Amino acid sequence: MAQTTLISREQIDGRVAEMAREIEAEFAGTELIALCVLKGAMFFCADLVRNMTMDVALDFIQISSYGNQKYSSGVVTILKEPQLDMRGKSVLIVEDIIDSGLSIREVHNYIESRGAAKVKTAAFLDKPKARKVPFTPEYVGFSIDPQFVIGYGLDFAEKYRNIPEVQVLSD
Ligand code: 5GP
Ligand code: MG
C-alpha cells in the first residue's frame, strides 16, 4: 500500500476555520445541533465546532460503514441513534466524506423524520463524480476526484484515522 499526501495539515486548518465562519453566518441566532457522523467525522467535527463562537449543541449518530472494504454496500443501518430532541431545531450533519451519496441521503431523511426545522450538511470531503444518488452538501471542505483517502478521521479497516493529514491510499 502506498500513501501520498493529498491535503496538508495547514490546508485543513485554514479551510475548516473558514467553514466555521460560513456556517456561523447562516445559523447565528438559531438553536443549532452539530450532528457528528461517527466515526470518520470526529476530528473534523471537533475542529469545526472549536472554530465556532456561537452556542452549538453536539450529538452523534453512527451508521453502518464499508466494513473492511473500499466500496459501499449501499445498505445503511443506524448503529447509534442521536440523543437530543431535534424538533424545531437546526441540525448540521457533519460528515467526513460523501461518495455515492447513499449514506448521507439516509442520514438526512432520518434527521428530517425526527422533526428538525432545518437540516444542512457539512462534508469535510466530497467526491461529486462518484455519486450514485443526487446529493449536494451545503458546505464542503474540499472536492476531490474519486480515489480512496485516509487520515484526519478516515480509515481503511480501522487503521490510519490518526494520521493528521489526508492521504491517498493506493495498492
Ligand atoms: P457513500 O454512502 O457516500 O458512498 O459513502 C459514505 C461513507 O463511506 C463515508 O462517510 C465514509 O465513511 C466512507 N467513504 C467513502 N469514501 C471514502 C474514502 O475515500 N475513504 C474512506 N476512508 N472512507 C470513505
Ligand atoms: Mg462515514
Question: Which residue is closest in CA terms to ligand 1's atom 16?
Answer: 99
d(CA 169, CA 97): 15
Helices (H), the chain: 9-27, 42-50, 102-113
114 pLDDT above the threshold of 80: yes
Please, which residues have CB within 8 angstroms of residue 107's CB and are 6 or more apart in sequence?
Answer: 37, 61, 63, 76, 93, 95
Q: Print the domain residue range for 92.
A: 3-169
Query: Would you say residue 19 has pLDDT above 90?
Result: yes
41 lines ligand 1 (CB under 6 A): no
pLDDT at residue 73, as a whole number: 61
Positions annotated as catalytic residues are 99
Name which residue sits closest to atom 24 of ligand 1, judged by CA: 97
Can you give the pLDDT at residue 70? 58
Average confidence score pLDDT of the chain: 94
Domains in the chain, number: 1
Q: Are strands 149-150 and 90-98 parallel, antiparallel or unpaired?
A: unpaired
Angle at Cα 15 formed by Cα 58 and Cα 44, nearest 5°?
Answer: 30
Assigned C-alpha cell, 99: 461518495
Measured in angstroms, how far is the CA atom of residue 87 from the centroid of ligand 1? 28
pLDDT tens string 124-136? 999 999 999 999 9
Here the CATH number for the domain that contains residue 137 is 3.40.50.2020
Residues with CB under 5 A from ligand 2 (ion): 40, 96
* Cα 153 to averaged position of ligand 2 atoms, centre (Å): 9
Residue 168 CA to ligand 2 center (angstroms) comes to 16
3-class DSSP assignment, residue 113? helix
Is the distance from the beta carbon of residue 61 to the nearest atom of ligand 1 less than 6 Å? Answer: no
Residue 65 has pLDDT above 90, yes or no: no
| pLDDT band per the 50, 70, 90 thresholds, residue 71 | low
